[in-house]
Amino acid sequence: MGFDDSGDVTSLVGLVGFVVRAQVHDGEQWWLAVETVAEVVGCEACGARAVGHGRRRVKVRDLPVAGEPVTLVWAKRIWRCADVDCAVKTWSEFSEEIAGRAVLTERARAEIARRVGPGEESVAGVARSFGVAWSTAMEAVRDHGRPRVDHLSRLGAPRAIGLDETSWLAATATHPTLLVTGIVDLDRGQLIDVIPARSATAVEEWLDAKPTRWSAGIQHAVIDPYQPYATALANKVPNAKLVVDHFHVIRLANSALDDIRRRVQHDTLGHRGRKGDPLYRIRRRLLMGHERLSADGFERVLMWLERGDPDGEVAIGYLAKEHLRAVYDAKTVFDARRRLIEFYEVCDHAEVVELTRLAKTIRRWQTPLLRWHTTKLTNAGVEGTNLIIKNIKRLGFGFTNFENYRLRLLLRCGTTWQTRAAPSIRARQPSLVA
């Protein structure tokens, strides 16, 4: 392939120290013949002036231009020390923009990291558009992403953090369902980290690795009603007050109600719920907020309960769930506490094993539960936690790739990504006014 070498030299926009000697489009991509402008170079060992010793051409992919791939053909200089006695014989020139043996310029690698990170494109797709291997693109994401993710400034200075457990990978023949803990900054609504475990030890180790000043600034921590989280926080950030996440409290009531329904279903009909079974018909309606049911819908609930719930156990479970939900409608913490007592009364008088257990759990978490009324803190609506869920569904990561997964997640929603502003055309126009 020959370049149309007109002899003109233009600087290569954005790559300091490089000039374009020639350019050609082969129908598929641009080829730019580039070289550095370095003329006077000293030997690193003795300082003697270096003399040219030929050139070696290397090809690297650069940023696309107007959507078309660009390959730079860099005529790399080989220098030789002029002093024949010097131990250093020859060396080739070096550029921060193009690493030795690289197939991509650094700015192209940074762009790959941006497109995979905040751009949320797949590694495979970006690799394809740059014409490089998946592993090459992923390496660029790691090299340019990790410093951002590891940077201490990313931790911020939250006064409230949230810990949220999410299933990451479904169980297979070789491992059980794998759970991860997402840690979010509730002040900024940003994901801080993901840990591939949900044990007290894992959270404690994570907290231990943080600067003391950072931990000391945390005043509130919102958690699932999950003892290991409470233990870890009590041990490592004892001054932080716990708040139990609203959503998870309601979920406890819903799952108790579901358990009752399944048990009664089995006790009365001797099999798991099937289409047409009274309780099976209303399984979703039972879990809906009462205010969302139409009069007609509630009528149906009552009708099927009459047929499928001989001892009124599902009905009392529904009532208990609604009482617990009502706690969150209270305007003051005093009213919330009063409503909670009503909930306990319903559970205590029901003599339904699932409700006894539920009331016991809620009593244990009562103080951090009622703290919602004074703080209004919740993990719901934090982009990071929602993204974990979304990503699990969309991407099939293997366990060995947890670090890649964490990196992608944090680049997407745990970092602020400042893109280098493109130089404006106006700024590059020569001034016409003297």
CB of 91 to Zn ion, least distance (A): 10
Chain-centroid distance, C-alpha 164: 13
With binding defined as CB under 5 A, does residue 51 bind Zn ion?
no
Considering the complex, state which of residue 81 and residue 126 has its C-beta at the smaller distance from Zn ion: 81
Which range in 44-52, 92-100, 201-209, 258-266 contacts Zn ion by CB under 5 A? 44-52
CB of 11 to Zn ion, least distance (A): 30
Considering the complex, state which of residue 88 and residue 389 has its C-beta at the smaller distance from Zn ion: 88
Give the C-alpha separation, 140 to 120, whole Å.
Answer: 15
Considering the complex, state which of residue 91 and residue 328 has its C-beta at the smaller distance from Zn ion: 91
- Per-residue CA distances from 21 to 4, 9, 24, 33, 226 (Å): 9, 5, 11, 5, 65
Considering the complex, state which of residue 92 and residue 401 has its C-beta at the smaller distance from Zn ion: 92
Nearest to 282 by CA among 267, 309, 299, 304: 304
Considering the complex, state which of residue 81 and residue 359 has its C-beta at the smaller distance from Zn ion: 81
- Among 13, 45, 51, 170, which residue interacts with Zn ion (rule: CB under 5 A)? 45
SS3 string of 32-70? EEEEECCCCCECCCCCCEEEEEEEEEEEEEEEEECCEEE
Place of tokens 């599902």: 314
CB of 89 to Zn ion, least distance (A): 9
Q: Which of residues 83-142 bind Zn ion (CB under 5 A)?
A: 83, 86, 88
Considering the complex, state which of residue 79 and residue 130 has its C-beta at the smaller distance from Zn ion: 79
- Among 12, 33, 43, 230, which residue interacts with Zn ion (rule: CB under 5 A)? 43
Query: Which residue intervals of 117-245 are DSSP H helices?
Result: 123-130, 134-150, 200-208, 212-216, 227-236
For 331-379, the DSSP string reads SSHHHHHHHHHHHHHHHHHH--HHHHHHHHHHHHTHHHHHTHHHH---S
Binding mask 60-89 for Zn ion (x = CB under 5 A): ---------------------x-x--x-x-
CB of 434 to Zn ion, least distance (A): 48
CB of 42 to Zn ion, least distance (A): 8
Applying CB under 5 A, the site for Zn ion has a residue count of 8
Considering the complex, state which of residue 5 and residue 44 has its C-beta at the smaller distance from Zn ion: 44
CB of 82 to Zn ion, least distance (A): 7
CB of 95 to Zn ion, least distance (A): 21
CB atoms within 10 A of CB 269: 15
- Cα radius of gyration rounded to whole Å, the chain: 32
- Per-residue CA distances from 401 to 105, 153, 168, 249, 396 (Å): 26, 25, 12, 32, 10
Using CB under 5 A, list all residues that contact Zn ion: 43, 45-46, 48, 81, 83, 86, 88
